[in-house]
């Protein structure tokens, strides 16, 4: 009887260990500093062993196993860490987080750069934001007015990509500016990429419902003042249209955060 009791206790101890939550992933070294470059635009990201870069992007990519992000507001850092398709998904954040002058540079390295995946690096980045910014938040799933990107009545006007690498350009502009004429040239672009990009120009999120799974080369021009509008340009130039509908989204509901002290470790 005593031996049986001993076996049961050992089994229970093993079960307890098996159910223990895994330790959160953390960088080996990481620094968060106020940006001093004066550059008004976030750059960088995380480079895991499974990250994909075009030949043009590779020259500007962070070293393997590192996250290097410069000149980012906290909203930019949250967007990268939590893979938010739009900063508009961050709800309830104060101005210094969303549109203030306070920007930061992050440099961080995994313990073994040759093994860390992009998802693992992003998990480490999430833990870093919680630690250094004392970030508190919760997620809220809601249905909100948006659009489905669908194929127009006469079919798509898209050419399968023949480009060696993907790229996005907006003519002479470094990035698109809502309210001004926009001339998009896209190479190796998926419909999901198009939906994500266009979500920044519509009063609601866009979900790809085209059923088109390839990548395409195309040009798209619209001008909300002089015409054509985005809605008209999509249909006339690409054979696509935006259909109003409720779109399920997961909002990042901001609770609190602090501007961090500079700590290197």
Can you read off the two tokens belonging to residue 87?
A: 């900063």
Query: For position 21, what pLDDT does the model report?
Result: 56
Q: Show Cβ contacts of residue 101 under 8 Å, excluding neighbours closer than 6 positions.
A: none
pLDDT of residue 13: 45
Q: Is 92 exposed, middle or buried (0-12, 13-18, 19+ CB in 10 A)?
A: middle
The whole-number pLDDT of residue 171 equals 66
Q: How many CB atoms lie within 10 A of CB 85?
A: 16
pLDDT digits (tens, 9 = 90+) for 148-163: 999 999 999 998 998 7
Please name the residues in contact with 182: beta carbons below 8 A apart, sequence gap of 6 or more: 170, 173, 176, 201, 220, 221, 222, 223
Percentage, residues of the chain above pLDDT 70: 83
Task: Please report which confidence band the pLDDT of residue 87 belongs to, taking 50, 70 and 90 as the band edges.
Answer: confident
Backbone phi, psi, residue 15, to 5°: -65, -40
Put simply, whether the predicted model's pTM sits higher than 0.85 gets the answer no
Residue 145: Cβ within 10 Å count: 12
Q: Cα separation of 49 and 119, whole Å?
A: 10
Instruction: Grade residue 56 by pLDDT with cuts at 50, 70 and 90.
Output: low
With CA atoms as reference, report the closest residue to 79 among 88, 71, 70.
Answer: 88
Taking only the tens place, the pLDDT of each residue in 181-190 is 889 898 899 9
């Amino acid at each position: 009887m005593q031996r049986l009791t001993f076996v049961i206790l050992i089994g229970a101890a093993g079960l307890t260990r098996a159910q223990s939550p895994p330790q959160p992933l953390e960088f080996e070294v990481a620094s968060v500093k106020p940006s001093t470059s004066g550059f008004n635009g976030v750059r960088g990201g995380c480079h895991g062993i499974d990250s994909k870069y075009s030949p043009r992007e590779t020259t500007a990519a962070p070293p393997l196993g590192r996250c290097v992000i410069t000149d980012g507001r906290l909203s930019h850092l949250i967007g990268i860490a939590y893979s938010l398709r739009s900063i508009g998904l961050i709800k309830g954040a104060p101005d210094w987080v969303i549109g203030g002058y306070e920007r930061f540079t992050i440099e961080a390295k995994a313990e073994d750069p040759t093994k860390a995946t992009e998802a693992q690096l992003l998990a480490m980045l999430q833990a870093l934001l919680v630690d250094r910014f004392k970030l508190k938040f919760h997620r809220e799933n809601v249905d909100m007015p948006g659009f489905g990107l669908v194929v127009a009545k006469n079919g798509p006007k898209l050419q399968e990509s023949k480009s060696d690498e993907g790229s996005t350009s907006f003519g002479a502009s470094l990035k698109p500016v809502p309210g001004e004429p926009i001339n998009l040239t896209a190479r190796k672009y998926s419909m999901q990429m198009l939906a994500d990009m266009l979500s920044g120009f519509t009063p609601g999120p866009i979900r790809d419902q085209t059923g088109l799974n390839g990548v395409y080369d195309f040009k798209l021009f619209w001008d909300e003042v002089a015409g054509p509008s985005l809605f008209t340009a999509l249909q006339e130039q690409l054979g696509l249209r935006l259909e109003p509908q409720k779109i399920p989204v997961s909002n990042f509901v901001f609770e609190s955060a602090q501007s961090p002290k500079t700590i290197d470790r």
